């Protein structure tokens, strides 16, 4: 199971929100590139980078930070937030993203999202399935849709999607544990999806359980910043997994 720390960006700074609420913003570091380098120094190979400014804007905003992380580290970066057009995706990949995540676009403009999948391939396009009370949330989690989570995921995996990041918004930033039941249900119905767990990770001992369920990766945010999970623990986990 891949370990994928998260860096969320607002106004160029490394922040975390609670349940996606922008008013709960806490700034953890003024320099996201410095944080990314710390991850790399502890043997981590992957990063989930979210442009929270872009999520609320008309398109990508913080691509310069992506560019710096991609050029100054060897991390494989999954970039999301604000990807609303072909131009946004082009900028993200040209700025150094290994993968991009589309959530709102997959609900609002499925033809566009499927075109990205066809153009860039299933290894580079991730479906973002952000769940609030069983429904997909969009627009930086500010809006709810009528799409139910599991049919939404299944529909897209049938159409070629490989990777899915599923975040339980009610658990995000709460340090209350991940949505084990939801992930078990998704994976019991869909054996082909590469499911990345996100939201609520609070302790190191949750990681083996997520791996046992069958998650392909886990995104960890606030638990690292609040020192609930140390970078040394993650480094040892990665070394033992290898």
- Domains of the chain (ranges plus CATH)? 2-241 (3.20.20.70)
Rounded average pLDDT over 7-30: 92
The overall average pLDDT reported for the chain is 94
For residue 136, the model assigns a pLDDT of 93
CA atoms of 55 and 179, how far apart (whole Å):
23
Alpha helices in 7-160 (DSSP H): 32-41, 52-56, 63-72, 86-94, 104-108, 110-120, 149-158
CA 161 to chain CA centroid, nearest Å: 15
CA atoms of 31 and 33, how far apart (whole Å):
5
Rounded average pLDDT over 106-135: 95
Token look-up 């442009």 returns 51
- From 8, 51, 78, 172, active-site residue: 8
CB burial string 117-141: b at 16+ within 10 A, e below: beeeeeebbbbbbbbbeebbbbebb
Catalytic status, residue 130: yes
Closest alpha carbon to 237 in 203, 198, 193: 203
CA atoms of 120 and 164, how far apart (whole Å):
16
2, 207 in Cβ contact below 8 A? no
Cβ-based burial of 227 (10 A; exposed 0-12, middle 13-18, buried ≥19): exposed
- From 51, 88, 130, 168, active-site residue: 130
Rounded average pLDDT over 218-241: 96
Catalytic status, residue 21: no
The fraction of the chain above a pLDDT of 90, given in percent, is: 83
How does pLDDT run across 152-162, given as a tens digit for each residue? 999 999 999 99
């Amino acid at each position: 199971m891949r370990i994928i720390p998260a860096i969320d960006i607002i106004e160029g700074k490394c922040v975390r929100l609670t349940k996606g609420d922008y008013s709960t913003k806490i700034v953890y570091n003024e320099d996201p590139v410095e944080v990314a380098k710390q991850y790399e120094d502890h043997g981590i190979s992957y990063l989930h980078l979210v442009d929270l400014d872009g999520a609320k804007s008309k398109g990508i905003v913080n691509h310069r930070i992506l560019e710096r992380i991609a050029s100054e580290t060897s991390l494989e970066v999954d970039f999301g937030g604000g990807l609303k057009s072909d131009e946004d995706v082009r900028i993200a990949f040209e700025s150094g993203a290994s993968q991009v995540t589309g959530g709102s676009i997959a609900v609002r403009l499925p033809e566009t999202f499927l075109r990205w999948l066809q153009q860039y391939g299933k290894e580079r396009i991730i479906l973002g399935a952000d769940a609030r009370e069983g429904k997909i949330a969009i627009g930086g989690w500010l809006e709810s849709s009528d799409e139910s989570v599991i049919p939404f995921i299944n529909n897209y995996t049938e159409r070629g999607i490989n990777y899915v990041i599923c975040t339980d918004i009610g658990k995000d930033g709460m340090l209350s544990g991940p949505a084990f039941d939801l992930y078990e249900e998704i994976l019991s119905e869909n054996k082909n999806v590469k499911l990345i767990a996100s939201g609520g990770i609070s302790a190191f001992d949750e990681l083996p359980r997520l791996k046992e369920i069958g998650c392909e990766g886990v995104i960890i945010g606030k638990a690292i910043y609040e020192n609930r999970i140390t970078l040394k623990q993650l480094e040892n986990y990665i070394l033992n997994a290898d």
